[in-house]
Amino acid sequence: MVPFIQQWWQANLYSKTELRAAFQAAGFAHVDFSAFPGPYGYLNAWGHIVVARS
């Protein structure tokens, strides 16, 4: 899946650790992750929902 996303959409995939560090560097003190709900659960294999609060 990663090669397709990177090649087709010129996108990068980031780990939770990388995302947390980026959001904290941007000034968000609280960074949490949620799962995609029900019919969109297949996105949990590679995607993240980030909930960031200052």
Q: What is the DSSP letter of 14?
A: -
What is the rounded distance in angstroms from the CA atom of residue 50 to the CA atom of residue 29? 13
* Pair of tokens at residue 42: 């297949």
Predicted TM-score of the model (pTM):
0.72
First to last CA, the chain: 33
pLDDT of residue 46: 82
What is the rounded distance in angstroms from the CA atom of residue 31 to the CA atom of residue 48? 12
- Nearest Cα neighbor of 20 from 43, 50, 47, 45 is 50
pLDDT of residue 36: 96
Give percent above pLDDT 90 in the chain: 63
Q: Per-block average pLDDT, block size 10, for the chain (54 residues)?
A: 67 87 96 96 91 94
pLDDT of residue 40: 96
